[in-house]
Amino acid sequence: MKTTHITSVLTLVAACCSVSAAGDPQEFSSPGFPPSKVDQLGRLVEDWGTVDVRLSGEGVVVGESQVSSVKLEEVVPAVRVVSQLGAVEMTRTMYRAPIFPGGVDVLRVQLKELQGKPLEAVLTLDASTGTQLGQRTARIGGRTVLVLPREVTGTQALLDWGFSDEAVSLPGWARPAKECDAAFRNIRAGMGGVPIVYRFTVPAGSQATVILGLCESHWSAAGHRPLRCRVEGAPEQAVDPVAKWGQHQPGLLVFDARDENGDGKLVVSVLPGVHAPDQNPILNVIWIFPAGEPLDPGMVLAGQLNDAAQYYVDVGGQKDQSIYPPGKMEFPVHLAAGETQELTFLVACPGGDAPVPSTSAWDAAKLLRAARDVWRDWPATE
Ligand SMILES: [Ca+2]
Ligand SMILES: [Ca+2]
């Protein structure tokens, strides 16, 4: 039985001239840039890892995939992988978009319902381990390697605390000039003006005392990096850390917080000040204490009450974490009878970075147009 099955697959492969032979990966690129590869299983192979896409759901089966090279808009070299998955036909199309500076790979996943009835499915993106998820991105170290079509929610349980933003960790960035908790040294920064956002699981509707620790070590004069600090249930506090405490001086902001919307999550965020010349917000430490307990600010600053806190976060430190569990990224998909849907992922190509969605204006149509324009102007080599 098994032999017959394999034979039929090989026949199918041989019958279509543009389909790659097993072990013969397809490539695509922009003119003059190193290529990305697609292996015979249809996985996108990059210098940082391998991106695989799977679908599960009722009526969805594991099926065969055909890998072929195609031209989009008649000029853009692309690799297409068509997979027959029972109730769904999944088509992956991959090409390089020539955005500054090194380009980005575009992975379009099209799902077509084939059996004429509505379908609930889950699309799973399986990337290499070691990626850390933001709200719409995945990172390895400081490198953005994936941009996701939407927030990862779906079937995965969130962790009980963590960041859900597109900020970056900068360990050892701050140099506090006086003795204080070691967590002041590591920060996260919202490069390009993105907010820093943390969520903490708390009893629904409960109150808490939230203390934010800040220390500015880049600017020596006031007025450069004012911040807006928001803690759910408390009035917003605007602060210019250098004006309030000085350069390299750790300081604390105290908030009487409450889970105002009763969803069992307390949201803490830091945004750039209105008209701030430096638009990159920073945050050093978060403490969350039970409401109403008297707290000595000096002891909090020195780290002597860390163990008494419900949550103590060395923002940007080794134990900091994303609220999204590591590993697979799942996206629930609802397909109506006969419907076709497409999800677009941006994938860092060799040596490149994927653009953070909130600081760039790329969409699927613009990316394809950019690729078309560069290939139209490129002299044919064949
Ligand atoms: Ca809440
Ligand atoms: Ca920190």
Gap between the Cα atoms of 200 and 309, Å rounded: 13
Query: Which residues lie below 8 Å from residue 292, measured CB to CB, with a gap of 6+?
Result: 207, 209
Ramachandran angles phi, psi of 4, nearest 5°: -60, -45
**What are the beta bridge partners of residue 250?**
none
The ligand whose atoms approach the alpha carbon of 265 most closely is: 1
2 has a pLDDT exceeding 80: no
User: What type of residue sits at position 234?
Assistant: A
Higher pLDDT: 103 or 13? It is 103
CATH superfamily of 20-154+326-376: Glycoside hydrolase, family 65, N-terminal domain (2.70.98.40)
Mean pLDDT of 202-212: 98
The ligand whose atoms approach the alpha carbon of 182 most closely is: 2
Ligand 2 centroid to Cα of residue 314, in Å, is 4
The matching CATH number, chosen from 3.10.20.600, 3.30.360.10, 2.60.120.260, 2.60.200.30, for 161-314 is 2.60.120.260
Ligand 2 centroid to Cα of residue 157, in Å, is 25
pLDDT at 10: 34
- Kindly indicate the confidence band of residue 130, based on its pLDDT and cuts at 50, 70 and 90: confident
Mean pLDDT of 101-106: 93
Ligand 1 centroid to Cα of residue 203, in Å, is 10
Identify the CA nearest to 316 among candidates 134, 183, 226: 183
The ligand whose atoms approach the alpha carbon of 214 most closely is: 2
pTM of the model: 0.77
Tens of pLDDT, residue by residue over 28-75, are: 999 989 999 999 999 999 999 999 999 999 999 998 899 999 999 999
Angle at 321 between CA 302 and CA 352, to 5 degrees: 120
The ligand whose atoms approach the alpha carbon of 184 most closely is: 2
The ligand whose atoms approach the alpha carbon of 199 most closely is: 1
Tens of pLDDT, residue by residue over 235-280, are: 999 999 999 999 999 999 999 999 999 999 999 999 999 999 999 9
Ligand 1 centroid to Cα of residue 202, in Å, is 8
Ligand 2 centroid to Cα of residue 222, in Å, is 22
Ligand 1 centroid to Cα of residue 232, in Å, is 7
Residue-range domain boundaries for the chain: 20-154+326-376, 161-314
> Average pLDDT of the chain?
90
Higher pLDDT: 186 or 135? It is 186
Gap between the Cα atoms of 382 and 377, Å rounded: 15
pLDDT at 330: 87
Would the CA dihedral through 258, 260, 262, 263 be positive or negative? Answer: negative
155 has a pLDDT exceeding 90: no
The ligand whose atoms approach the alpha carbon of 313 most closely is: 2
Ligand 1 centroid to Cα of residue 122, in Å, is 27
140 has a pLDDT exceeding 70: yes
The ligand whose atoms approach the alpha carbon of 250 most closely is: 2
Tens of pLDDT, residue by residue over 325-369, are: 876 788 999 999 999 999 999 999 999 999 988 777 788 899 999
Q: How much of the chain exceeds pLDDT 90, in percent?
A: 77
Q: How much of the chain exceeds pLDDT 70, in percent?
A: 91
The ligand whose atoms approach the alpha carbon of 201 most closely is: 1
Identify the CA nearest to 255 among candidates 268, 242, 240: 268
Tens of pLDDT, residue by residue over 158-186, are: 899 999 999 999 999 999 999 999 999 99
pLDDT at 9: 34
| Residue 362 in tokens | 């790329």
128 has a pLDDT exceeding 90: no
21 has a pLDDT exceeding 60: no
Ligand 1 centroid to Cα of residue 198, in Å, is 11
Identify the CA nearest to 233 among candidates 201, 271, 206, 212: 206
